[in-house]
Amino acid sequence: MNLSIPDLTTVRARHPEAVAEAAARRARRPLIGDSGRLMIVAADHPARGALGIGDRRLAMADRADLLERLCVALSRPGVDGVLATADILEDLLLLGALENKVVMGSMNRGGLAGASFEMDDRFTGHRAEDIARLGFDAGKLLVRVDYDDPGSLTTLESSARAVDAMAERRLPVFVEPFISRRVDGRVRNDLSAEAVTRSIAIASGLGGTSAYTWLKLPVTDDVDDMAAVLRTSTLPVVLLGGEVGDQEAAYERWGKALRLPTVQGMVVGRSLLYPAEGSVEKAVDTAVGLL
């Protein structure tokens, strides 16, 4: 049952079991396909209250518009799958947009953007058992560490247990680490080579096994530092996109980093779904071309 976007609310209200039914019959694929690379579109920002794109503070708040953009992105050649929270993934399931795609559940979204408790990244999204039950393919978790915040220890411990739970089910988990700090009350991620190096070392050691752990990493402030930074771990890496000001400069930085041996692909969201210039199709096709 492939629905249109206007049908989603009716089906959710009258036939909630349709989500599990769609998940059970979804055609699956290996994590790494024939290309040997991985291109994932990210859309887990709304659950953390991060709805802005540039000066448009609520750009991602229109769910129908977001779903249309995701369906376009997922239809483009070379796009392997999507990262999102349960509500968005289940909409896409009902729309039939996840056939033969990698489906990655976002696990901790409790650190709401701009909140006083932003660094307290509780696991409010997918659990390992949810990802396994729905037949999804992987999970993703965010680990921000502030050396001045004792609460970061709780984040590290809960992240380690999530890594264990995913490994127990032989499910890949993509760990997105940052060294962070508050500047004028706002959380800032440190993208210096030293900080990213430390974050990799910390994230690689989480849990009782790293057999199913991937790293989801930013490109450092100076892209030429990435080769040395990535020697910190042998774990496979995907690059994250983040919000981009200069699209062409971002493509150049990603292209350089993608040549490094441990980098297996990219997970990019807002800059492809809401490009500063051009269409979703053009932005996605350009990013795929970098692989």
Strand partners, 56: 53
Position 4 scores a pLDDT of 86
* 71, containing H or E segment: helix 63-75
The per-residue pLDDT for range 120-151, each reduced to its tens digit, is: 999 999 999 999 999 999 999 999 999 999 99
In the chain, the percentage of residues whose pLDDT exceeds 90 is: 86
Position 278 scores a pLDDT of 83
**Do 80 and 101 touch, CB atoms closer than 8 A?**
yes
Greatest CA separation for the chain: 55
* 128, containing H or E segment: helix 128-133
Ordered by where they begin, the domains of the chain are: 5-290 (3.20.20.70)
Position 167 scores a pLDDT of 98
Query: Helix, strand or coil for residue 198?
Result: helix
Position 244 scores a pLDDT of 63
pLDDT-derived band at 17, boundaries 50, 70, 90: very high
* Mean pLDDT confidence for 249-271: 92
